[in-house]
Structure 1
Amino acid sequence: MFLPERKSGAAQDFMVAMTTMGLSQVISGPTHQAGHTLDLVFVALDGGVRVEEQNILPLSWSDHHLISLRLTVTSNLCRGGGPIKMDHGILLGRLSGMGLGGTALQWLQSFLEGRSQLVKLGDTCSDPWPLTCGVPQGSILSPMLFNIYMKPLGEVIRSFGVRCHLYADDTQLYYSFPPNSKEAPQILNQCLAAVMGWMGANKLKLNPDKTEVLQVSCMPDRGIGWQPVLDGVALPLKAQVRSLGVLLDSSLTLDAQVSAVAGRAFAQLKLVRQLRPYLAKSDLAMVVHALVTSRLDYCNALYVGLPLKTARKLQLVQRSAALVLTGAQYRERSTLLFKELHWLPLIFRTQFKVLVITYKAQNGLGPIYLRDRLSPYEPVRSLRSSGEALLSLPPASQARLVGTRDRAFSVVAPRLWNSLPREIRQAPTLMAFRKSLKTWLFTQAFG
């Protein structure tokens, strides 16, 4: 197929529809002397669609290769195996309630409805089964639709005075209360019952067996004297839970998380070391960054202020990665290795991440809940520090857990931010801020 007017509304709508179905174009420029574009449409491996038949017509018929495809749906368009399957009727009603209507709502309705799935074995196919729930996996639009579907759940939770974070199908509740509170069990159990009721009303299923509870306090060994109840099932307290891939323990020491990251990174380094003789240095660097450095950088803002005993495990991983990449002797100093590779040492990498998040939060590029943790410094009288874009340190009551106070974002972010030169704090764009910040941290690390 070729589109003579690629910038027309119909052409743009067609390309968006192809993208949401997991399809992508290979040729993006004109392939005809008249300026026409032939769009060869391929399918993504995870799009749930595969090419069943392919016919290429002779070039003598046209100055373009014409390709006809017959596509067979081979994967479930619903969230198979998971507890989340959005009801299309409820979702469309929710979109309408948010003010969406007309052509936009009709387009979304056509995107959701009219789909079916079947099972194919050899030349035999089952009867098509209509899909009344779920969204196509792999499309950009699907996560946004799911967030809209789940939006009322946050309002239900907050009505009990309980805070929450929703990330895709992962919902986390936060409730703070004094040790001897008599109201806490009642409030939390009522909130959990309301969550269960909302799930049932919206045709969702919540599995109590996969729900975990973590108590964070100065004295976690004492417990809370009671257990939250979800759908008649008592939820036991866990020593550690996994939150978006990060292991959290009851004292927030991150010991388990650091040990897990270091163990997996060393396992990957062992494999990379075997490939070293067969790869060029640029390719080896790419593999190291993909398999090792990415693990160190994931959520590394949490590693700021960790005790040296804990952080040393990650420092050894970074040093080992540098040795593999440079081929240097084991006794070579880490500072020289990192400087040669232009790597920031671990402690400065974590500071870089915190400061970038701080810049985003202050400039409307980050989540609101992080911006609310930051307070601009406002002196009571006119001082030279006025207009310096400084941040205030929070009172001790805002970060009461003594063991983690100096690592809390509301404490460490202002402290690091205020130490920056004024011209970096007032950088006009995120790109300019990142570039200036990395240069400054590199100077701090290596002189």
Structure 2
Amino acid sequence: MVLVDFSLAFNCVNHRKLQRKLREEFHFSNNACDLIHSFLEHRTQAVRIGNSTSSQRPLVDGTPQGSCLSALLFSLYINSLPIGLRCRYQLYADDLQIYISGSIRDVDQLISTINSDLETIQHWARQNSLFPNPKKTQAIIFCKEGAVVPTTSIVFCGERINPAGNVVNLGIRMDCNLKWNGHINDVTAKVFGTLRTLRRFAPVLSVQTKLKLVRAVILPFFTYCDVIYYPGLSAALRDQLNRCFKASVRFVYSLRRRETTAAVRNFILGHDLEANYSHRISIFMRQGYASNFPPYLQQHLIKGRQERARSFVIPHHTTSKRKSIMIAGAINWNQLPLATRQLPTINAFKSALSARR
């Protein structure tokens, strides 16, 4: 997999080319194009240092930062990039990943295909006034065990991209051996780092204020993309997360390091951390049963033939595949009571899950 980086992508959108794309690719009306033109044109910028301000200069390219319309316009601008790619891809605004899978013995052939697509991306970027950044572009070769040493190099914009042992992809640290140690270490560091800052103000904070802070600032570290990694965690990594969570509980209720959190542990989430992960996985799989996943995820789920049972077919799988969300999640879903799986609304489903904890 290669994570392609563009330098200042939002600032490099060419207004004339964007207007042409809106008309020719998306069939915007003239009035709509004129409205977007007025949104983009006649903008200026200046630099202020202390009490000194530079003269204003016009912004001839780019979309304004901080506007929700800017992200949409950029997505429309970059929409044609994947045309002609042979590899699979994921494109989220300016975050582009291309990937391909196959046997280890075919790794050089796979890299050749990747290189071909990287040339296509470079050519598209040149035509559309964007600037790829090979120095920040990363590559990784996934293999369950050991390291893969290809003889063919990954090349982008004339520069060699050496495969890394791990990469951060949209906030998730992905390891070449499909381990989650690095990501859990990141979560741990963020939790304890934030708690260290909050403890400075603990003497003047009420329990309710500390509870709100933990829910707003700390819990997102635990829940971000949790359904992806939690089924694959070892007992040691789950214990590491639990220790972090207990530290958060101790901060809220001013407990000492050695004091037990059993009496108050469930007050933050309504249940313990492990039950919360199971709860969220069940909600995630309900979306899959309702066919609300994008196709690249939905294709990994097979519904049972009996609609009344509302279950998934569990395909034959290895021990390692059982740790994936699609297998572990399907098993988790099938173990729910039938009455819970049949509930018509997501709110009723969540309430039923909470009642079981």
Establish whether TM, by shorter chain, passes 0.5: yes
Q: What is residue 252 of structure 1 aligned with on the other side?
A: 178
| Selected match of 1:392 from 313, 328, 341 | 313
CA distance in 1, matches of 2:52, 2:266: 60
Asked if residue 193 in structure 1 is aligned to residue 119 in structure 2, the reply is: yes
Matches within 5 A, 1:353-432: 353-363=280-290, 365-378=292-305, 386-396=307-317, 403=320, 405-432=321-348
Offset of residue 416 of structure 1: 1.0
Tell me the residue number matched to 1:261.
187
Q: Which sections of structure 1, spanning at least 5 residues, go unmatched? A: 1-79, 379-384, 443-447
1:394/1:203 CA distance change after superposition, 3 Å: farther
Could you say which residue in structure 1 is the equivalent of 2:150? 224
CA distance in 1, matches of 2:354, 2:209: 24
Give the 3 Å change call, closer, same or farther, for CA 294–124 of structure 1 in structure 2: closer
Note if contact 1:255-1:310 (Cα within 8 Å) is conserved in structure 2.
yes
- 1:230-309 matches, within 5 Å, as 230-301=156-227, 302-309=229-236
Partner of 2:265: 338
Change (3 A) 1:306 1:172: same
Amino acid at match of 2:349: F
Q: Shift in Å at residue 260 of structure 1?
A: 1.7
Equivalent position of 2:3 in the other structure: none
Q: Structure 1 pair 342/183, CA: closer, same or farther in 2 (3 Å)?
A: closer
Cα distance in 2 for partners of 1:251, 1:419 equals 30
Q: Deviations along 1:141-165, whole A, 9 cap, x unmatched? A: 11111111111112332xx1x1111
Letter in 2 for 1:300: D
> Aligned equivalents of 1:314 and 1:106: distance in 2?
52
How far apart, in 2, do the equivalents of 1:152 and 1:342 lie?
43
- In 2, distance between residues paired with 1:123 and 1:342? 50
1:202 aligns with 2:123: no
User: C-alpha separation between the residues in 1 aligned to 2:150 and 2:274?
Assistant: 36
Classify the secondary structure of the residue corresponding to 1:209: coil
The reply on whether 1:174 has 2:95 as its aligned counterpart is no
Which amino acid counterpart does residue 166 of structure 1 have in structure 2? L
SS of aligned partner of 2:105: coil
Q: Which residue of 1 aligns with 2:90?
A: 165
State whether residues 168 and 174 of structure 2, in contact with CA within 8 Å, keep that contact through their aligned partners in structure 1: yes
The residue type paired with residue 367 of structure 1 is P
Is contact 1:220-1:251 (8 Å) kept? yes
Cα deviation 1:102-150 (Å, max 9, x = unaligned)? 3222212221223232345657652x43322211111111111111111
CA distance in 2, matches of 1:357, 1:153: 30
- Sequence identity percentage: 24
Is the CA contact (8 Å cut-off) linking 2:63 and 2:70 kept in structure 1?
Answer: yes
More displaced 10-residue stretch of structure 1: 355-364 or 278-287: 355-364
Change in Cα spacing, 1:150 to 1:324, as seen in structure 2 (3 Å) is same
Query: Which ranges of structure 2 fall in alignment gaps of 5 or more residues?
Result: 1-5
3-state SS of 2:111 partner? helix
Q: Hey, what does 2:17 align to over in structure 1?
A: 90
Number of residue equivalences? 347
Of residues 232, 250, 274, the one that matches 1:323 is 250
**Cα shift at 1:201:** 0.8
C-alpha deviation, 1:271, in angstroms: 2.8
**SS of the residue aligned with 1:153?**
coil
Tell me, yes or no, if the aligned pair for 1:241 and 1:249 is still in contact at 8 Å: yes
**Aligned-residue CA RMSD in angstroms?**
2.4
Q: CA-to-partner distance for each residue in 1:400-434, whole Å, 9 max, x for gaps?
A: 7x64x122122112111111122322232222222
How far apart in 2 are the matches of 1:233 and 1:81? 16
Give 1:77's aligned residue.
Answer: none
Change (3 A) 1:129 1:315: same
- SS of structure 2 residue aligned to 1:155: coil
Deviation at 1:365, TM superposition (A): 4.5
Look up the equivalent residue of 1:389 and give its one-letter code: R
Q: 1:240 to 1:138 in 2, by over 3 A?
A: same
1:268–1:392 Cα change, 3 Å? same
Contact 1:304-1:347 within 8 A present in 2 as well: no
Higher mean Cα deviation, 346-355 or 184-193?
A: 346-355
Indicate if the aligned counterparts of 1:228 and 1:235 stay in contact, CA closer than 8 A. yes
1:436 aligns with 2:343: no
Distance 1:365-1:140 versus aligned 2 partners, 3 A rule: farther
1:289 & 1:341 partners in 2: Cα distance?
A: 7
Q: Does 2:35 match 1:117? A: no
CA contact (8 A) 1:304 1:351 kept: no
Structure 1 residue 173: Cα displacement: 1.1
Counterpart code for 2:141: Q
